[in-house]
Chains A and B, each alone.
Chain A
Amino acid sequence: MKVLVPVKRVVDYNVKIRVKSDDSGVELANVKMSMNPFDEISVEQAIRMKEAGQVEEIVVVSVGPQQSQETLRTALAMGADRAILVKHDDVVEPLAVAKILKGVVEEENPGLVILGKQAIDDDSNQTGQMLAALLGWSQGTFASEIEISGDTAKVKREVDGGLQNIEIKMPAIITTDLRLNEPRYASLPNIMKAKKKPLDEKSVGDYGVDTAPRLTVVKTEEPEGRKAGVIVGSVEELVSKLKNEAGVL
């Protein structure tokens, strides 16, 4: 089976995000970028499945600017086999990404697509679901355990109330959650090998997708800072405040 793993280049999770001075978005100039952490989990999952003999080839794909090549090389260094960069310099929304990925899926015919449940930059949590809908494939989102056997996949999903076990038909879309695995570090020999692995460049035009944004960003602002707390005199006062002021009881 071939697995397709889409990866996104995002602001590194260690970077303190700053809003641009004109409130139009987040400052990206001279900011460290790296692979979306959920996508690292997806790549790791694909590699583990390959190590277990369930997967023959891992193809990673990214939609983004030329620098997304670095993100793809990271995935190759972790253990993916080849990469596709669909070059696009402007903002691209989840629906457009899903449409482009649909094109890639039709070209590559993978038996499984593993995506991060969301990207830590816009937190959309949409691409996997949209891709499943566009392809008419089954989906198992927020996976914390995956077990493939023949035509079906058992997915343990992290849902609000706890864990939900589902069985879905292959080919399928799976999106990964935090607890699925702990991604490996790329080893030095694999980093060296990664530069020789194939990386194809494509353009959005190759898939005939209109990427014009459907949304308009009105304003981006910093979250409100934490307000000073109050010291309560008694348990009764605490309960009353939780009930009447906070409204959580």
Chain B
Amino acid sequence: MYRAPVDEIAHAIKHVAGLSNAIDNGHAGELSEDLVDAILEEAGKFASDEIAPMLMVGDQHGSTLKDGSVTTPPGWKELYRNWIDGGWNALSGPEEFGGQNLPSTLAMAATEMWNAGSMAFGLCPMLTMGAIEAFEAHASDELKAIYFEKLVSGEWTGSMNLTEPQAGSDLAALKSRAEPQDDGSYRIFGQKIYITYGEHDMTDNIVHLVLARLPDAPAGTRGISLFAVPKFLVNEDGSLGERNDVFCSGLEHKLGVHASPTCTMIYGDGKFGDKPGAIGWLIGEENRGLNCMFTMMNNARLAVGVQGVAIAEAATQKAIAFANERKQGKSPSWDGEGMAPIVYHPDIQRNLLTMKALTQAARAICYSCAHAIDMSKTGSDEDRKFWSERASLLTPVAKAYSTDIGSDVASIGVQVHGGMGFIEETGAAIFMRDARIAQIYEGTNGIQAIDLVQRKLPMSDGQCVAAYFDELDSILEQLRTSNEPAFGNSTAILSDGLKALKSATDWLTEKSKAGETQHVLAAATPYQTLFGLVSGGIYLAKSALASSGAKDRAALCRFFAENHVNGAVALQNRVEQGADSFESAAASLVD
């Protein structure tokens, strides 16, 4: 069963992402390395000993709906209660409202552990985290006074209501409406789908954040406003009042994350209250709802990326444990009695090392992104801008690359288990099923790629991405001078990889400037993969360089370079030549 890799995570956030530097340079407040260790240690215990044992129970039972009420799997409610009693939901919230205000790197490290224990469980606090950020940045003091402290502690959860049947990736099409009332509140009407933890029995209230249109709102995305709509209205003394006119009309039957209820939410159907319309309050300004959403988008997308890392880690641990126990056939490197444990077979080793390396590469990208978010909140305006752009640049890569590898690694995990991998009871398939959604929600990975090539590369006229490549170059320089034989051909391969990434970047920039959008869009996904592959490979080198004497990190970097990063040139070709081939072949697709 999953055991939180506390030391590995600590190494990644301190020495690869840069938290140790931040602590040394006074950018991390009162945080010390000891405290980081203590927090990770205890979070790891909870994730390993309390959440992970619930994974299969949650998957098998799933959440169920009866008369508008959702029942979570047995033990789920107690698990959530113990988790918020441990103060974990309040890890990153503002101190004024009971939070610990700890940095994003730590919040993401903890997020990884909860989700590796059970992604279906980890999803709930992830949605609340989004609500907390929206509240912090945009809610009025009156709204904060009523809801904020309970959201920060996790006593109430938050849900995010964006999607409607006709408005998925394109929110411009959304129809839910909000009618202003004389008392300053609004009445919300409409249907929302795919609402994660939109209804559940773990807390006695839920605060729904809902995107809807005002009567006179302009069409498109500039006419969307954000509202807070509680499941139960709150009395002046803070006690719960009447049920609001919102309910869950259906649960989706899904491929994975069965314990997480995916709800269809109906607002303003007249089911509750004296007149139809769910009562809500505006968050931020009218028609600026999407902007409010964007403030938390970086974090939410990064958190989903971290889910990819989490699943990859859990799947890797399970596969390695299995490969050490399962015995089949003979192996040249096994001289023991009887059949060899399959971990001695080269093909299994290739699979397991791929799992391990991809997991650590994606982890490094995610935590580097988290570190950039932390750094964007400190220092001079210039520094803040630099780091904020860095975070924006890395966010789509962290989200898409990590969730892609999450799925890949989970699939390899099934493969390592052989026939048993296909049997649910083994517990390898669940990772593959759970991982799949992370590539889709919070902006599909295709959307992330478009974001990367169209919005992120042009930031500061290309200076942002150029500075990032300079940083990767300087790691390669350290690698070159380290002269450590354990790295094998890493230096040459990683350098070629970075060269391929730079060329592909130049090519895309040129095509963008020339207005050849078709080419840019066609190249987006292979470019994103190339970006993740090369930066992940170089981060593995950084990780190894930061742990002097530990040869196993250098060996893993070498494996990844010599077996994966050498594919960078092929990806570069795909970027630069893909679009033409699409054009000629795509005609056959359209009815």
Contact = CB atoms under 8 A, between A and B. Distances in A.
B243 interface: no
B46 A185 contact: yes
A74 interface: yes
Interface in A61-93: 69-70, 73-74, 77
Given A14-B3, A32-B7, A188 B42 contact: yes
A179 interface: no
B42 A186 contact: yes
Given A14-B3, A32-B7, A77-B42, A188 B35 contact: no
A34 B48 CA distance: 15
Interface in A163-199: 185-192, 194-195
Contact of A187 (B34, B41, B86): B86
A70 B34 CA distance: 8
A188 B88 contact: yes
Given A14-B3, A32-B7, A191-B39, A185 B45 contact: yes
Nearest to A195: B35
Contact of B42 (A30, A69, A191): A191
B42 A185 contact: yes
Nearest to A14: B3
B34 A195 contact: yes
B32 interface: yes
- Give the dominant DSSP class at A's interface: helix
Interface string B27-52: 00000101101110110011000100
B86 A188 contact: yes
B34 A188 contact: no
B246 interface: no
A188 B7 contact: no
B39 A195 contact: no
Contacts of B46: 185
A188 B90 CA distance: 8
Which residue among A32, A34, A188, A191 has the maximum number of chain B CB atoms within 10 Å of its CB?
Answer: A188
A127 to B, nearest CB: 25
Nearest to B46: A185
A192 B34 CA distance: 11
Given A14-B3, A77-B42, A195-B32, A188 B37 contact: no
Contacts of A14: 3
A190 B90 CA distance: 13
Contacts of B41: 34, 74
A239 B88 CA distance: 56
A239 B37 CA distance: 55
B100 A192 contact: yes
Interface of A: 14, 30, 32, 34, 69-70, 73-74, 77, 185-192, 194-195
Interface of B: 3, 6-7, 32, 34-35, 37-39, 41-42, 45-46, 50, 82, 85-88, 90-91, 100, 550
Closest 4 CB pairs of A and B: A188-B87, A187-B87, A187-B86, A189-B87
23 contacts: A32-B7, A69-B34, A70-B37, A73-B34, A73-B38, A74-B38, A74-B42, A185-B45, A185-B50, A185-B86, A186-B38, A186-B42, A187-B85, A188-B88, A188-B90, A188-B91, A189-B100, A191-B35, A191-B39, A191-B42, A192-B35, A194-B38, A195-B38
